[in-house]
Amino acid sequence: MTTDFGQLTAAAAKWESMAGEFKKVEERYRDTVQKITMGGQTWTGVSAGAAHTNFAGTRYEYSAAQVQAKAIAGLLRDAHEQFTDLKKKVESARDDAVKAGMRVSEQGRCTFDFSKADAGTANAARHDPDLKNVENSWSQHIDSAVKAIDDADQGVKIALEAACADGYGQKNDVTLGTGFNGEAQGDVEVYEARNAEDIATRLAGGEKIPAAEMAELQRSFRDNSGKPEFSQVFINGLGAKGTIELTNRLNDQIHVKNPANKSDFTDLQKGLGATLASATQDPKSETYKKFRAEMQKEGLERRNTSFTDLRLEKAYGYQSLVTLMSQGGGDYSKQFLHDMGDDIMKAEKGREDIWVMKGDAYSGKDTGWFANDPMDGLLGVMSRDPEASASYLKDEDRMKHLLDRNWEVVLEAHEHGNSTHYSASLDGDERKGFAAALQAGATGIDPSSENPKFVKHSPDNVAVFNNIIGRFGEAGDEFPKSLREPMANILVNHGDTVHQVTSSVDMRSLPVEQNDLYEVIKQVSKDQDSYGALNYGINQAMVSDIHAAGQEHPSDSLLRAGRTVGFLEEARTAAVGPAETAAFDQKWMFDTAIGYIPVVSGEVQSGFDYVVEKWMVDEQKKLDQEHSDKSYESYKNRNGQLMALTEEWMKLHDKDASLFNYQDQMDEAALAGANRAKSVGG
């Protein structure tokens, strides 16, 4: 907090001046001493040859001294920039703590400042059982900022020492590692990357690394993984092969050899992932091109790992890479995600059983971390970037491949007497990544978000939705069970479109085919919770339509609501039949759907809540009655919902009328919707 970092730039200026002085000496030496060994002189023989070599070597050292001096100056300026910025962050962390009511000691320890608090706040703080935790969290906030400076300081030390160490230089360097460094560079991160690469390469090769070097590798990742000047040098040096081997070694330690003390290796894994993400941000860079080209070969090589050895298997490079991308840190570029996805697809074509592995299913707490299906795993990584998911999945060829590919990637053992045979089966988390990417691509929402919020759909989101409905509508009963819940979220998110299509009597201008949407709704409705989430969300679309401003023919919104109710109920009845319906988890349904529907005005929300309440009552009646006749007109069980929609419509458009004036219209509309669903459903 008190160091004058300006002295670093002052020192840098002196080093640059020193380089200038060395240049003068080099020129004098060239023009006087070295000159006598060059052309036109009469000195010959062994001594002349030795002098020629030695004089050239001396001049080289003067030149190398200039390079080294300039590099030191660059490193000091780099240090000044880093330290100045990081010091401001320490000051900001201290200021944040003070604003939060803390007193901060010179050592950065935080305690509540009772002297600046009013009586009520001070009394509440004294009786707050969590006060110590709050104080500690602010102390840790400051500690983290201080730690960042210490990390940077360690990196500068490594760079200064490396820049001053002479290697085997260029032509005329005869000092063999004991002179000036003619290849010194003025970038701290370059030296940190080279040092980290050396440690990582030895670790990847199975060498036992001393604790100090392990800590140094952790520090390098922590301090630099997001900096391209570090990450590109590191990944270039390690290469795709080294990256794969390193992540395999880290996973061996985390999951097999050293799980009780895995935190150090987990930190390294996160750092490696973040470094790879940073190094591959620019698809035009040589690092990017080199790594991708190497992965196209290394991704199809199989290697032993402690984890797969237990299952008498080997791991493909793509499986290891996607495991790193899934478990490690970093935000990968859209282009890198797309290119890796396309390369994995290319590897699958003509080899549909390429990822099939025997042994336990690779899902759940103990084995789910391993990306045995790298395509599905990559889609899971991609789902964290909804824009990347959307631009990837709007492509019809990609979507077709994902629907047609082999998802049975584990071999299930069957015992018959003394023999065992295997048959291909689905993994426990099959299509998990695909489901997440579909939701992200169609909705613009990261499904892993703790609090998902509706976002305005981009053209790509709409394209993905249309692609999904068209493709999945053709699947019929081949529609995967694991996609019912995510598909319900997608339908809810596009509730306005679903309502438009299910209520339409004009097939000429619909965004998706009505028969395709019917099939998708039917398949989703086979899962009770997914059916509940879908219908819960569509209620909002119907209420919003009723409240829409500027309606030329207001009665149309009433009839559309009736037709949608009938359509949905017919699809649901065709899916499972009234008697087979089971109760659903109301809280799960609301929590799942709520993040995917748009925020609406208070009036619409009030109407939505009322309609949902009546719909839930209808649903309970239906469950209680357990109708056995599958031809039963299910929409009639929606009387409460239909009347609630009618009441909501009347509040806006005909509040003085009798409810019964519109009851027949709603019943007829619901019957029309059910009949339309029957006709398109075949």
pLDDT in tens, 395-446: 999 999 999 999 999 988 777 777 777 788 999 899 999 999 999 999 999 9
For Cα atoms 274, 276, 280, give the angle at the middle one, nearest 5 degrees. 120
pLDDT in tens, 75-84: 999 999 999 9
Specify if 399 maps to a domain: no
Chain CA centroid to CA 473, Å: 29
Specify if 432 maps to a domain: no
3-state secondary structure 569-631: HHHHHHHHCHHHCCCCCHHHHHHHHHCCCCCCCHHHHHHHHHHHHHHHHHHHHHHHHCCCCCC
Q: What is the DSSP string of 74-104?
A: HHHHHHHHHHHHHHHHHHHHHHHHHHTTEEE
CA–CA separation, 231 and 193 (whole Å): 7
Rounded to an integer, the average pLDDT of 386-401 is 96
- Domain identity same for 486 and 590: yes
CA–CA separation, 369 and 364 (whole Å): 8
Q: Is 510 exposed, middle or buried (0-12, 13-18, 19+ CB in 10 A)?
A: middle
CA–CA separation, 36 and 38 (whole Å): 6
Point out which residues pair with 417 in neighbouring strands. none
Specify if 350 maps to a domain: no
- Domain identity same for 241 and 310: yes
- Domain identity same for 34 and 95: yes
pLDDT in tens, 308-320: 998 889 999 999 9
Question: Which tokens hold the place of 195?
Answer: 């040092």
Show Cβ contacts of residue 162 under 8 Å, excluding neighbours closer than 6 positions: 191, 194, 195
Show Cβ contacts of residue 29 under 8 Å, excluding neighbours closer than 6 positions: 58, 59, 62
Q: Strand 110-112 and strand 102-104: pairing?
A: antiparallel
- Domain identity same for 176 and 193: no
CA–CA separation, 280 and 408 (whole Å): 31
Exposure string of 381-416, with b = 16+ CB inside 10 Å and e = fewer, is bbbbbbebbbbbbbeeebbebbbebebbbbbeeeee
Supply the range of the domain harboring residue 152: 6-184
For Cα atoms 464, 496, 655, give the angle at the middle one, nearest 5 degrees. 180
Residue recorded with tokens 């052309």: 39
CA–CA separation, 288 and 199 (whole Å): 22
Residue recorded with tokens 């339409």: 504
3-state secondary structure of 32: coil
Q: What is the pTM of this model?
A: 0.85
pLDDT in tens, 68-108: 999 999 999 999 999 999 999 999 999 999 999 999 999 99
CA–CA separation, 430 and 451 (whole Å): 25
- Per-residue pLDDT band for 622 (boundaries 50, 70, 90) equals low
- Per-residue pLDDT band for 626 (boundaries 50, 70, 90) equals low
Specify if 383 maps to a domain: no
Q: Strand 357-358 and strand 315-316: pairing?
A: unpaired
Torsion of CA 479, 483, 486, 491, to 10 degrees: 0
pLDDT of res. 385: 97
- Domain identity same for 86 and 137: yes
pLDDT of res. 35: 84
- Domain identity same for 167 and 251: no
Q: H or E stretch including 8? A: helix 6-31
| DSSP conformational letter for 115 | G
pLDDT of res. 551: 87
Query: Nearest 5°: phi and psi at 102?
Result: -95, 150
CA–CA separation, 278 and 220 (whole Å): 14
More confident residue, 528 or 416: 528
Taking Cα atoms as reference points, which of 71, 72, 79 lies closest to residue 6? 79
Specify if 467 maps to a domain: no
Is the Cα dihedral 458, 459, 464, 468 positive or negative? Answer: positive
Domain count, the chain: 3
Question: Which tokens hold the place of 10?
Answer: 């002052």
More confident residue, 46 or 446: 446
CA–CA separation, 608 and 567 (whole Å): 19
Please say if the pLDDT value at position 387 is more than 60.
yes
Q: Is 571 exposed, middle or buried (0-12, 13-18, 19+ CB in 10 A)?
A: buried
Specify if 388 maps to a domain: no
- Domain identity same for 509 and 535: yes
Q: H or E stretch including 302? A: strand 302-303
Chain CA centroid to CA 83, Å: 31
Boundary of a domain, candidates 284, 301, 331? 331
Boundary of a domain, candidates 147, 163, 184? 184
Give the percent of the chain with pLDDT over 70: 94
Q: What is the DSSP string of 451-502?
A: S----PPPHHHHHHHHHHHHHHHTTGGGS-GGGHHHHHHHHHHTHHHHHHHH
Rg of the Cα atoms in the chain: 34
Rounded to an integer, the average pLDDT of 621-626 is 62
Specify if 400 maps to a domain: no
Please say if the pLDDT value at position 583 is more than 60.
no
- Domain identity same for 193 and 175: no
Specify if 650 maps to a domain: yes
- Domain identity same for 178 and 230: no
| CATH number, domain with residue 199 | 1.25.10
Boundary of a domain, candidates 184, 217, 246? 184
| DSSP conformational letter for 381 | H
The answer to whether residues 174 and 53 touch, using CB atoms and an 8 Å cutoff, is yes
Query: Nearest 5°: phi and psi at 410?
Result: -125, 150
Taking Cα atoms as reference points, which of 246, 235, 342, 346 lies closest to residue 291? 235
Please say if the pLDDT value at position 628 is more than 70.
no
- Domain identity same for 106 and 212: no
CA–CA separation, 603 and 605 (whole Å): 5
Taking Cα atoms as reference points, which of 282, 464, 316 lies closest to residue 383? 464
The answer to whether residues 606 and 546 touch, using CB atoms and an 8 Å cutoff, is no
Question: Which tokens hold the place of 446?
Answer: 């990261």
pLDDT in tens, 184-236: 899 899 999 999 999 999 999 999 999 999 999 999 999 998 899 999 999 99
Residue recorded with tokens 């800590």: 215
3-state secondary structure of 313: coil
Q: Is 349 exposed, middle or buried (0-12, 13-18, 19+ CB in 10 A)?
A: exposed
Question: Which tokens hold the place of 109?
Answer: 């320890």
* CA distances in angstroms from 550 to 120, 364, 505, 662, listed in the order given: 53, 53, 21, 21
CA–CA separation, 244 and 324 (whole Å): 8
Question: Which tokens hold the place of 90?
Answer: 């320490």
- Domain identity same for 174 and 201: no
CA–CA separation, 110 and 125 (whole Å): 14
- Domain identity same for 108 and 212: no
